[in-house]
Structure 1
Amino acid sequence: MHLNVNWDDTNEEFAVKVYTHNIRYATRNTLKGEELWEKRKYPVAASIIFNTFNQSAIVLLQEVLHNQLVDLMKLLGDEWAYCGVGRDDGRSKGEYNPIIYRRSQFKVELSRTFWLSDTPDIPSKGWDAATVRIVNVTLLKHKPSGRVIFALNTHLDSQGPVARTKGAQLIKDIIETLEDHDALIIGGDLNSEPNQDAYPIFSSFLKDAKKLVDTDLMYGNSTTFTGFTENERKRIIDYIFVFPGVKVYGYAVLNNKFEDGIYSSDHRPVVANIVVPKK
């Protein structure tokens, strides 16, 4: 699982907006309060477009089926591209954890998917997980500065506590093999609240972006999971973590419902403005 790339020395500070959102997989068997994807895709895309306009942005999405990815890339336009594969077959079946980026701002140097199991190199389900789970590991070169950043995107299992814990530990082990980068970020849906399962593992060696911002200056909501009804228990289970040394100048949990009453997803988008400092 060793990933190693050598680079010429560059020392220019650069800023990136990191945007993560579990968009809820498309289904005809909708939950109470849930609209079909044909309606939800527009607010999902509109939020990305508005909140990343004219910026270097890395977008991490979860629960994305192939048809949803096709829809979103069409709505976002040709300036955007993605890395990622379907988790069921390593190609197009099952949910993706795509990493989406602006072509003008980033160049992909490598991208690889690992399965969260005892056999991470092949499509497989791990431990007590209800479904197959993956982590997308992508190395992006920031064209304006020439510096490089690892972006990781994951969605841990909703049912298996052992799978969440062991999956988080496997991701930690993978991160420890990554060399020759200027920064590293990981985002996604951990299905773990701050005192549960995976969160303590990630926070033991990475920084929760939320905790690097003054609480008085945080924007938006607090909880990240809402469900599709007002009486659903709200939880914090979606996160952005950064490598120590990365600065965070803004953090927000955005809305997933407005006056039209349509939930874009049962999760809210989480956004952080990060700056990779000079070496």
Structure 2
Amino acid sequence: MYSLLSDLAPAQKLLIPHLMPNFFSNIICISTLCLLIGGCSTSDSPVSVTAMTFNIRWDNPNDGVDGWDLRKDWVSDVIIESGAEIIGLQEALLHQIAHLDSSSAGFDWIGVGRDDGKTQGELSPILFDTTKWTVLEWDTRWLSSTPDSVGVAGWDAALPRIATIATLQHVKTQFELRVINTHFDHRGETARLESAKLIRDWALEGNKPVLVLGDFNFKQHEPPYAALTDTVADRFLRDAGTGDTTSTFKGFDALKPVSGARIDYVLSAGHQGPDQNGQYATYSVIESIRSDRFVSDHLPVLSTLRY
């Protein structure tokens, strides 16, 4: 469910057809309304958002019993059964997204390939429930010192890395949420730290409520985590799983899991205060197992937040 539009900028070429006819007119109408009323407001009632981050593992032909063709329907089942309405995927190739899209009624997605800004290479797409959310605007930026340069590997990164950034609007309340989905480099320490600084700046620009999803490839005690969540700053991102030590990277073998760590996160800003139990969000790591195998080498992370 996508089309390639040659007259758009590279990072905006992969768009969903039904979003296009009213896309620019919607933005113009919203901008005009904001000018007339002196700023956009949202419902006073909290909006509950259930979100998932999920590294689905790229379709590696050498994965044997854990190959994509043997897992694709299972991955789809996990997504649907989770109840998530906004989902950030990592390591997703175009044909993998196409399968999940076709098997997940009511969902659409946005994103581009990291290699060419179109279809080549891994995507970091944002999937969303169209009965609850519409897309106002979106783009893709590369995690480098030149974010608009397509296909660039930043700093000491082994590979090009991207962030998909969108403004979603809640259908019922017109509440607007800035959503970012990303996948940090697995080798470059400098790249991870500098990428964290970029993501924090991008997340907090525009002063909107924010949801950040991703496979960050860093642990909670490492500098990039602090760069994103440091409470000394005027504004910061809150980790939905603060205090949870459950590993999100375990490999495929459920009987002999990798001694991994929590490297996949759901982060947010601009949400409601704690509930009566002092909690800002619900949080869980989904350990879906069949025949002693995990659904992916990373475990999906699910969180419900109130904005």
Give the alignment's TM-score, normalised by structure 2. Answer: 0.79
Which one has the largest radius of gyration?
A: 2
Deviation at 1:196, TM superposition (A): 1.5
Partner residue in 1 for 2:237: 206
What is the CA-CA distance between 1:223 and the residue it aligns to?
1.1
Quick one: which amino acid aligns to residue 225 of structure 2? Y
User: Structure 2 counterpart of 1:241, which letter?
Assistant: L
Partner amino acid, structure 2, of 1:110: E
Post-superposition offset of 1:231 = 4.6
Cα displacement string for residues 129-154 of structure 1 (whole angstroms, at most 9, x for unaligned residues)? 00000111110000111110011101
SS in 2 for 1:130: coil
Q: State the shift of 1:51 in Å.
A: 1.1
8 Å Cα contact 1:41/1:264 also seen in 2:
no
Match for residue 116 of structure 2? 89
Is the CA contact (8 Å cut-off) linking 1:250 and 1:274 kept in structure 2?
Answer: yes
Superposed displacement of residue 98, structure 1: 0.6
Gaps of 5+ in 2: 1-29, 231-235, 274-279
Residue 295 of structure 2 is aligned to residue 271 of structure 1: no
The aligned amino acid for 1:112 is D
1-structure distance, mates of 2:281, 2:193: 30
Measured in 2, the distance between the counterparts of 1:245 and 1:10 equals 13
Tell me the CA shift for residue 228 of structure 1: 2.1
In structure 1, runs of 5+ residues without a counterpart are none
1:159 aligns with 2:183: no
Q: In the alignment, is the contact (CA less than 8 A) between 1:161 and 1:197 conserved in 2?
A: no
d(CA) in 1 for partners of 2:148 and 2:212? 20
- Determine which of 189, 198, 214 is the counterpart of 1:188: 214
Tell me the secondary structure at the aligned position of residue 17 of structure 1.
strand
Q: Which residue of 2 aligns with 1:226?
A: 250
How does 1:254-269 map onto structure 2 within 5 Å? 254-258=286-290, 260-269=291-300
Question: Cα–Cα, structure 1 residues 150 and 270, in superposed 2: closer, same or farther, change >3 Å?
Answer: same
The residue type paired with residue 303 of structure 2 is A
Q: CA deviation at 1:244?
A: 4.4
Aligned residues: 257
Q: How far off its partner does 1:173 sit?
A: 2.2
Q: Which residue of 2 aligns with 1:64?
A: 92
Determine helix, strand or coil for the equivalent of 1:162: helix
Q: Structure 1 residue 126 and structure 2 residue 154: aligned?
A: yes
Q: Aligned to 2:80, which of 49, 65, 86?
A: 49
2:284 maps to which residue?
Answer: 252
Map 1:32-47; keep pairs closer than 5 Å. Answer: 35-47=66-78
Q: Which one of 160, 166, 170 corresponds to residue 198 of structure 2?
A: 170
Cα distance in structure 2, aligned partners of 1:257 and 1:127: 37
CA drift at 1:249: 3.7
Paired residue secondary structure (1:60): strand
What is the letter of the counterpart of residue 264 of structure 1? Answer: V
Mapped to 2, the partners of 1:232 and 1:262 lie a distance apart of 12
8 A contact 2:203–2:212 mirrored in 1: no
Q: Aligned-pair distance for 1:102?
A: 1.0
Q: In 2, Cα distance between the equivalents of 1:196 and 1:10?
A: 36
Task: Give 1:10's aligned residue.
Answer: 42
- The residue type equivalent to 2:162 in the other structure is I
**Alignment partners' CA distance in 2, 1:61 and 1:242:** 17
Q: Which residue identity does 2:267 align to in structure 1?
A: F
| Post-superposition offset of 1:246 | 3.7
Q: 1:99 aligns with which of 111, 117, 126?
A: 126
Identity of aligned residues (%): 32
Select which of 71, 74, 78 maps to 2:102: 74
1:42 positional shift: 1.4
Using the TM superposition, give the Cα deviation of residue 261 of structure 1 relative to its aligned residue in structure 2, in angstroms.
2.5
**TM value normalised by structure 1:** 0.87
Given that 1:40 and 1:262 are in contact with CA atoms closer than 8 Å, whether structure 2 keeps it comes out as no
Q: What letter is aligned with 1:226?
A: K
Distance 1:75 1:262, change over 3 A: farther
Q: C-alpha distance in 1, partners of 2:304/2:257?
A: 31
Give 1:27's match in structure 2, choosing from 38, 45, 60: 60
